Amino acid sequence: MVTTPELERLGRRVAEAAAERPDWLGLGQVSLGPIMVALVPDQATFQAWTRGRLPTWGAGMALPRSGVIVVRADGGDALVTLRHEMAHLALHRRIQVRVPLWFDEGYAVLAAQEYGRLAALRLNVAVAAGRVPTLPALDAALRGSEGDATSAYALAASAVAELARRHPSREIGPLLERLERGAPFDSAVLAMTGLSVDRFADTWHLATRRRYNWGIWFAAGGVWVVLALFLGAGAAWRRQLDVPRREALNVGWELPPPDDELITTEQISPAPLDRPDLHH
């Protein structure tokens, strides 16, 4: 474990989590071998460790060959980031064939149980409108801007989950077993689902549009977004209507001469209670 003195307390928690050996999704127990975790304080240090190869918004990095994981302390929940990066290591310890970036990241999201990313899809206007990217475009979005990547990670996870649903067992394990035996990714997908990768992409598009449509968007909280926008627009419209009325109220008012003195509460002396002329 490598970190700074300021992060020592969080570093201990991260080190304890890194020592755990969970069952990984579809893989079971995986020996990660010796790994080194670096907990860095900020974006600048993270970019130095990654040599600028990852977007500036990145919160973690895993190097499967060397067993190095880098986690940003200021990049959200460090323990969640650690699980995500450890999932990458587990996947690549077992599978040596090349897999698409969307599958790599989607698996890590599911294996790390980052269900908050999937929940975010329910409030994504672009997805609700049916604008789901192609799988190659999804790869690009995963390394694009932070806004694009937020949806891309969730969509990648939904694509991996859809692969599992296409098998009678509804599990991703059968696909991982084929990949572990050395089958090319496209061949493994075809053998597991009966669909080519291109055909699977079409079915995933259709399933995603059905699962995250406008009805789901409204039910998941989109109605409150619309209501807030409606109330904001209504308030602005009302203020605009009140402008002539406020101008009319100003007609006839005269300002006091500039040399008038203002009377404050402190300048008013209370009448003495023992004055004879105040007793009746």
pLDDT digits (tens, 9 = 90+) for 144-187: 888 788 888 988 999 999 999 999 999 999 999 999 999 999 99
Backbone φ and ψ of 72, nearest 5°: -85, 130
Mean pLDDT computed over 239-248: 59
For residue 58, what is the DSSP state? Answer: -
Summarised one tens digit per residue, pLDDT across range 30-81 is 999 899 999 999 999 999 999 888 898 999 999 999 999 999 999 999 999 9
14 Cβ neighbours under 8 A, 6+ residues apart: 1, 3, 37, 39, 71, 78, 79, 82
Read off the pLDDT of each residue in 242-251 and give the average, rounded to a whole number. Answer: 57
Question: Residue 224 above 90 pLDDT?
Answer: no
- Which of the four pLDDT bands, split at 50, 70 and 90, describes residue 213? low
CA distance 25 to 18: 17
Q: Where are the domains of the chain?
A: 1-94, 97-241
What DSSP character marks residue 211? H
The answer as to CATH 1.10.10 being correct for domain 1-94 is yes
* pLDDT over threshold 70, residue 215: no
With b for 16 or more beta-carbon neighbours within 10 A and e for fewer, the 32-52 pattern comes to beebebbbbeeeebbbebbee
CA distances from residue 129 to 76, 80, 146, 209, 252 in whole angstroms, order as listed = 29, 30, 20, 8, 55
Do residues 11 and 1 touch, judged by C-beta distance below 8 A? yes
113 neighbors 83 (Cβ within 8 angstroms) = yes
Question: Dihedral, CA atoms, 196, 201, 203, 208, nearest 10 degrees?
Answer: 160
Residue type, 235: A
Q: Share the mean pLDDT of the chain.
A: 80
